[in-house]
Amino acid sequence: MNFDAYEFVAVIIPGALPTLAASLLIPEVAAVLSTEGVELGEFGIFLIVSFVVGHVVHMFGNGIEALEDRLGVGRSSLLFSPARRPVSPDQWVRFEQVLRARTNAPGADLSHETWFSTAREIYSQLNAEGRTRRLDIFTRTYGLCRGMVAGSLLTSLLILLLGGLVKWHLALLVFGLIAVPLYIRMRRFSALYAGELISQYLTLKQ
């Protein structure tokens, strides 16, 4: 069995933000983390709680993606907006031609609705050739950024709910310094993934 540290780190880090906020705002939670120092057992409890909370945070991350899709600014929208497409017009035309030729579906039409199933099929072909290392890096960074965005949004909400309006400036600080920059970074790696997927597919041998 292979141990993949990312599978834990990418969950714990986003979950640590709201967990830490709760520990600072709720006395009962704060008692777990001693102000005189963090013992190994207490730190272990913090990691476990952060891991559990992290899965909840990622659920909200999925909600962010769903909201983007409803607003027409989801991950696939990059590809179907010529002005924002992460590949050149020539590459996109060649990609459509190659895709239809390889799938024996000359009449197939790429769209928002079919893109993710198409992307999974392309990824499977690239994976069989051992050409997904950069794609996996982009996916992991995207996922971590998305989790941090969701975690910081939940943290800001916790600060407002538990700290009251007197803490609004702290909630705004968390939102402005974490959620906004990481959302921009999340979008960037989404574009990098799409561009890499298409570029790798175009150079894939028949």
Summarised one tens digit per residue, pLDDT across range 148-195 is 999 999 999 999 888 777 788 888 999 999 999 999 999 999 999 999
Helix then strand then coil, in percent of the chain rounded to 5, is 80, 0, 20
Domain limits at 177? 5-202
Sites in the chain below the pLDDT cut of 50: 35-36, 38-40
Q: Cβ of 186: how many Cβ atoms within 10 Å?
A: 22
Can you give the pTM of this predicted structure?
0.85
Quick one: 15 exposed, middle or buried, by C-beta within 10 A (0-12, 13-18, 19+)?
buried
- Count of domains forming the chain: 1
pLDDT value of residue 83? 85
pLDDT value of residue 146? 95
**158 vs 15: CA distance, rounded Å:** 13
pLDDT value of residue 40? 44
